Structure 1
Amino acid sequence: MDLRIFTEPQQGASYADLLRVARCTEDAGYSAFFRSDHYLKMGSADGLPGPTDAWITLAGLARDTSTVRLGTLMTAATFRLPGPLAISVAQVDQMSGGRVEFGFGSGWYAEEHDAYGLTLPPMRERFDRYAEQLEIITGLWATPDGQSYSFNGKYFQLADSPALPKPAQRPRPPVLIGGGGKKRTPALAARFANEFNLPFMPAEQAAAQFDRVAAACGEIGRDPAEITRSAALVACVGRDDAEVANRASAIGRDVAELKENGLAGTPAEVVQRIGEWRAQTGVERIYLQMLDLSDLAQIELIASEVAPQLR
């Protein structure tokens, strides 16, 4: 089981905060540091000092870290045009020496679009645009050197693009897709995804969605084993019940609720919970959502007391 650290900086974090967590993630031996892509806080958090841009953050981390992989859950398709986004991700991949992973979603949070003047189309149009963007971004990266790329879609048109720059990873960085849509999402994952991620849902529901992705792979003759199964779950781990309770209080959550919906408890309890998830879903990777970015001790605790029991 691969454990990764996942942060939600729109809830309140500066670049310095994220760098501190990313370096702790790297030093503790996790495989990757990921962040969300949002421009507005959610819930009761104050959101201070304000949002940080996902790809500007990852560009900084590409130079300020050395081994940990870097990515998004998920970059919002509504925030950026596909051509410039392909350039940004390729450049960050070069800056990191080939450590980028590209999580890409359709976008969903209406309030942040209103707050920053972004357009959030109706669901059907949004997904149609997202599908075209996936094809364009991966098509640009896969175009052989010296050749051009063109695309004539309903929403996007590219004519004779030089399809540059190329990412360091060839033909492209790993592409992560996720979500609970029952038809189009699995079909897109079968075509484009190296990894399929399901955030914050019950194991039974996740298992059913993973099965839909596997079935969609079968329909196009792709081996479902080529797509890594992953989940994102909030983490609240302590050496004893008192430490778990303190950490739950710090993030404004109830211990019982976290044990039901996330990964909460002592290291032994969390190892057992992860084992149950693996048995039910076949999940191979878990993104640990860290809601208190000042609590580096929890990151270190999980690395020392949980991760070794999952190898």
Structure 2
Amino acid sequence: MTVDLHIFTEPQQGATYDDLLAVARAAEDLGFSGFFRSDHYLHMGGDGGAGPTDAWTTLAGLARDTSTIRLGTLVTSATFRLPGPLAVQVAGVDQMSGGRVELGLGAGWFEAEHTAYGIPFPPLGERFDRLEEQLAVLTGLWGTAPGDTFSHKGTHYPVVDSPALAKPVQEGGVPIIIGGGGRRRTPALAVRYAAEFNAPFVPATEAGRLFDRVHDVATEAGRDPSSLTMSAAQVVCVGRDEAMLRRRADAIGRDLDELRSNGLAGSPAEVVDKIAGFEAAGAERIYLQVLDLADLDHLADVAEGVLPQLP
């Protein structure tokens, strides 16, 4: 198994489109296979810089300003957009990219960003109900044959005789990513709708338990577990020496010792060993959370020191 490495960014902390473009192009040139961004409207710590950028607006730009790298969200909140317009929007970006888009979709969790921008924030159970219905509408619209119409008798998002346009250019529609630590509804939704399950920011042993749970649910549902890609997300901090490591940890406001315990931090060899632990737990893809978007040399150090050592 070869572990696939994606670069994962948090632009709500204040990155502009030009900042994201520089990182995406560097990631593409350095050989990373994906560039993903969070979908948030409010910063978490700091002052937010120039303010947030909209995830799918920036991905549309990146679709035209890059040429080979996969692009997507980890993850879009189902509270932010109606599923019909979201299906049109994502399909359009997929067309613009030549079929390089993936959609991470979740129930939403950050209440403050909802109140800050006037977005309704229902209770958790209703958010999951809405997520499940959004997934049904998205996949239903994308899966409807050209010339046919799609209808959905839903509690939150009823759809009547939709022409189910526009269509993604990827066969079977845009791959959907679902992740999280829930033991019941999250694995069930992943098995029913997703191409990928993501275990975010947990140790390799816990990621392995989450992967095993999804595999069990898939088997029970009659789906081949190997048809689901298993992935993890971890903050990355790589340095060729301790001084560089500490500078990079300081730049993102993190303690290096804590990062070594709770992320992919250390020398290139240390990080390769940590990645091997996730691979042993079943991860086929890892999202490297890069928090200092101005440090493009960091990406180069990961590409030169880590990528060649992966199997």
TM (normalized to structure 1)? 0.98
Which amino acid in 2 is paired with 1:121? P
Question: What SS does the corresponding residue of 1:74 show, helix, strand or coil?
Answer: strand
Task: Give matches, 1:167-246, under 5 Å.
Answer: 167-246=168-247
1:306 matches 2:306: yes
**Equivalent position of 2:127 in the other structure:** 126
Question: What SS does the corresponding residue of 2:306 show, helix, strand or coil?
Answer: helix
Q: Which of 29, 44, 56 pairs up with 2:31? A: 29
Q: How far, CA to CA, are the matches of 1:88 and 1:9 in structure 2? A: 20
Question: What SS does the corresponding residue of 2:293 show, helix, strand or coil?
Answer: coil
Asked whether the 8 Å contact 2:14–2:51 carries over to 1, the reply is yes
Q: How far, CA to CA, are the matches of 2:26 and 2:286 in structure 1? A: 18
Question: What SS does the corresponding residue of 1:98 show, helix, strand or coil?
Answer: coil
Q: How far, CA to CA, are the matches of 2:155 and 2:208 in structure 1? A: 34
Q: Give, in angstroms, the shift of residue 217 of structure 1.
A: 0.4
Which amino acid in 2 is paired with 1:275? A
Q: How far, CA to CA, are the matches of 1:227 and 1:59 in structure 2? A: 26
**Equivalent position of 2:11 in the other structure:** 9
Q: Give, in angstroms, the shift of residue 165 of structure 1.
A: 0.5
Question: What SS does the corresponding residue of 2:21 show, helix, strand or coil?
Answer: helix
RMSD of aligned residue pairs (Cα, Å): 0.7
Q: How far, CA to CA, are the matches of 2:160 and 2:130 in structure 1? A: 18
Equivalences, count? 309
Q: How far, CA to CA, are the matches of 1:211 and 1:193 in structure 2? A: 16
Of all paired residues, the percent bearing the same amino acid is: 63
Q: How far, CA to CA, are the matches of 1:252 and 1:155 in structure 2? A: 41
Q: Give, in angstroms, the shift of residue 204 of structure 1.
A: 2.0
**Equivalent position of 2:272 in the other structure:** 271
Per-residue CA deviations over 1:206-252 (Å, capped at 9, x if unaligned) read: 11111111111011110111111101100000011111111001111
**Equivalent position of 1:294 in the other structure:** 294
**Equivalent position of 1:283 in the other structure:** 283
Question: What SS does the corresponding residue of 1:128 show, helix, strand or coil?
Answer: helix
Q: How far, CA to CA, are the matches of 1:308 and 1:195 in structure 2? A: 25
1:158 matches 2:159: yes
Q: How far, CA to CA, are the matches of 1:286 and 1:69 in structure 2? A: 14
Q: How far, CA to CA, are the matches of 1:229 and 1:296 in structure 2? A: 28
Q: How far, CA to CA, are the matches of 2:275 and 2:49 in structure 1? A: 33
Question: What SS does the corresponding residue of 1:182 show, helix, strand or coil?
Answer: coil
Q: How far, CA to CA, are the matches of 1:168 and 1:213 in structure 2? A: 28
Q: Give, in angstroms, the shift of residue 133 of structure 1.
A: 0.3
Q: How far, CA to CA, are the matches of 2:214 and 2:268 in structure 1? A: 31
